[in-house]
Amino acid sequence: LLTRLKKFPESGRPLPEFPELSFREVIVSPYRFFYKVKDNNVWIVAVWHGAQLPDEPEKIG
């Protein structure tokens, strides 16, 4: 996951629950990694089990 994000930081999809926000996700089953790209850095802001519904991103990152 980290190697992928280092090479391709925009490879994750926008969060389907919050498409208007700049957070993205990568799924490594059964987990969802929520992250944000800022100033050429990737910030992983949360990791959730896929069965959970995420909080609004401002609350997690």
pLDDT band at 60 (very low <50, low <70, confident <90, very high): low
State residue 32 phi and psi, 5-degree precision: -115, 125
β-strands 13-14, 24-28: how paired? Answer: antiparallel
**Is 56's pLDDT higher than 60?**
yes
Q: Which residues pair with 49 in a beta bridge?
A: 31
Cβ-contact 32, 12 below 8 angstroms: no
CA separation for the pair 21, 6 (Å, rounded): 21
Supply the pLDDT for residue 9.
Answer: 95
Which residue, among 20, 25, 19, has the nearest Cα to 37 in the 3D structure? Answer: 25
CB count within 10 Å of CB 24 equals 19
Supply the pLDDT for residue 37.
Answer: 95
Question: 56: domain CATH number?
Answer: 3.30.2310.20
pLDDT digits (tens, 9 = 90+) for 1-53: 889 999 999 999 998 888 888 999 999 999 999 999 999 899 999 999 988 87
Q: How many domains does the chain have?
A: 1
Domain that holds residue 50: 2-60
